[in-house]
Amino acid sequence: MAAPGAEHWSSRFAFLMASVGFAVGLGNIWRFPYVAGENGGAAFVIIYLACAFFIGVPILMAELMIGRRGQGSPPNAMAAVARENQRSEGWKIVGGMGLLAAYTIEVVYAGVVGWVLWYLYKAITTGFVGVDAQAAEVAFGGVLQDNLGMLFWTLVGLAITGLIIYSGVKDGIERAVRVMMPAMFLLLIGLATYNVFAGGFSEAIAWLFTPDFSKIGPTTVLAAIGQAFFSIGVAMGGMMTYGSYLPRSISISQSVLIIVVADTAVALLAGLVIFPAVFNYGLDPAAGAGLIFQTLPVAFAQMPGGWVFSVLFFVMLSVAGITSMVGLVESVNAWVEERFGIARHKSALLVVGSVGVLSIISLMSYNVIGDLGMGGRNFNDIMDYFSNQILLPLGGLFIAVFAGWMMSRESSRDELPTLGAAGHSLWYFLIRFVVPPALLVIFVVGVTG
């Protein structure tokens, strides 16, 4: 049962917008289209969709189900459901792993969102007029050397995130995502439509949607499994926390299908926004994160209407970054509220403030302390490895084991009534026998390189 005064989503639309906003991050926007094109285009997309529905959907259902049934932050939700099923409360450690993953990701991610906001400012004030490849590289290098500038824009991003969290679920998160997410969808559609006439669109369509089954092999399947797992935002505590705010009247299974389809659609639309410019101006589609900050400004400088396109593009990226940060921070914030018995206002200031302090170390890792670290990894590399290669795969694996083997079948059926008997049997099989081996493979490959 929900605790007295516990907050809940006012509608399924609000929950869906928050969940899709959390799932759609900066890396997903540039990485998914590139990985798809590199691994066979439409052939990869087909494999990805299979992985998303047979791996991503079951574990996302499990995380939301545990959150709603446990009615608390991830550690407390796991402990409550464990007690209900006469299991050890030690399972709360799995919820704690999700919070630790969210926090470590947020420390580094806040700086990247700061870059996006800084480039939004650059787009508004200059539109990247006259920027060529060398100038773009020098400009981004200058950003990485300017600690005060990076800190300022990182704190701007954290301030926006903190204000949303500070205001609560209905007055903060819901109000923000009801405006920001539809705006992001409209921007994506508008920018993709612009590219139909601006050039490079047919090449981008071929890159993304021409099936090349000759590229399909074990590496491609592994890439699809990893993309399906990482792109929907599970095992970071955010989805479990959002699940704890979910009323019983909202179907988890139907909502999850919408979230996964929307997440995939956004990634593909982003490809139709980014890659036409890449191909039209002979740029490198494999530029990775540099695609956003070094490659695309060159395209903006050359294209007709580049100022408008660049501003709208970085507005879209800013929305994706902020809504992901909200989910990451909210999961930790919910636990701090419960653990220390303090008001949301105070916990939001505490969590966001601590992230801001630690982000200083992250920002300095791009320059003055870049050579300090362990095993050839600096602070950011260590945080990334610890969260993405260890905490997330293991956390997802343990969530799957808990939902499939520790929870009673009756408990999960009670939370997933709209699946029906056959649908629940399929979910139960997948969460027990398909998801754990897949996540174990992701963990082993990630750790061994």
pLDDT confidence of residue 4: 36
Residue 29 near residue 319, CB atoms below 8 Å: no
The secondary structure of 344-406 as a DSSP string is HHHHHHHHHHHHHHHHHHHHHTTTTTTT-EETTEEHHHHHHIIIIIIIHHHHHHHHHHIIIII
pLDDT confidence of residue 169: 96
Q: How far apart are CA 390 and CA 238, in angstroms?
A: 17
pLDDT confidence of residue 2: 41
Give backbone dihedrals phi and psi of 373, rounded to 5 degrees, phi first.
165, -155
DSSP 199: S
Query: CA–CA distance from 412 to each of 90, 138, 422 (Å)?
Result: 20, 54, 14
- For residue 355, with 0-12 CB atoms within 10 Å meaning exposed, 13-18 middle and 19 or more buried, which class applies? buried
pLDDT confidence of residue 5: 44
In total, the chain counts a number of residues equal to: 449
pLDDT confidence of residue 372: 86
Q: How far apart are CA 190 and CA 273, in angstroms?
A: 9
Would you give the distance in Å from CA 268 to the centre of its chain?
15
Residue 435 near residue 55, CB atoms below 8 Å: yes
Residue 76 corresponds to which tokens in the numbers above?
């407390």
Give backbone dihedrals phi and psi of 46, rounded to 5 degrees, phi first.
-65, -45
Residue 44 near residue 36, CB atoms below 8 Å: yes
Q: How far apart are CA 318 and CA 287, in angstroms?
A: 20
* Nearest Cα residue to 181 out of 10, 14, 7: 14
Query: CA–CA distance from 110 to each of 115, 153, 155, 229, 319 (Å)?
Result: 9, 9, 8, 22, 13
pLDDT confidence of residue 34: 87
CB < 8 Å & 24+ apart, contacts of 84-91: 84/411, 85/406, 85/407, 85/408, 85/411, 87/406, 91/398, 91/402, 91/406
Residue 29 near residue 202, CB atoms below 8 Å: no
Please list, residue by residue across 73-112, b when 16 or more beta carbons sit within 10 angstroms of its beta carbon and e when fewer do: bbbbbbbbbbeeeebeeebbebbbbbbbbbbbbbbbbbbb
Q: Could you tell me what percentage of the chain is helix, strand and coil, using 3-state DSSP and rounding each to the nearest 5?
A: 80, 0, 20
pTM for this entry? 0.95
Mean pLDDT in consecutive groups of 10 residues from the start of the chain, 449 residues: 64 97 90 89 93 95 98 97 97 98 97 97 94 93 97 98 97 97 96 92 92 90 91 95 96 97 93 91 82 91 92 96 97 96 96 98 95 87 94 97 97 96 97 97 91
Alpha helices in 85-237 (DSSP H): 92-126, 133-145, 147-166, 175-198, 201-209, 218-230
Q: How far apart are CA 347 and CA 333, in angstroms?
A: 6
Residue 275 corresponds to which tokens in the numbers above?
């890659």
* Nearest Cα residue to 24 out of 34, 16, 12, 36: 16
Query: CA–CA distance from 372 to each of 170, 197, 344, 354, 364 (Å)?
Result: 43, 48, 36, 22, 10
Q: How far apart are CA 156 and CA 150, in angstroms?
A: 10
Please name the residues in contact with 138: beta carbons below 8 A apart, sequence gap of 6 or more.
Answer: none
The CATH number of 13-448 is 1.20.1740.10
User: CA 150, 152, 153, 158: dihedral to nearest 10 degrees?
Assistant: 120
Where are the chain's structural domains? 13-448
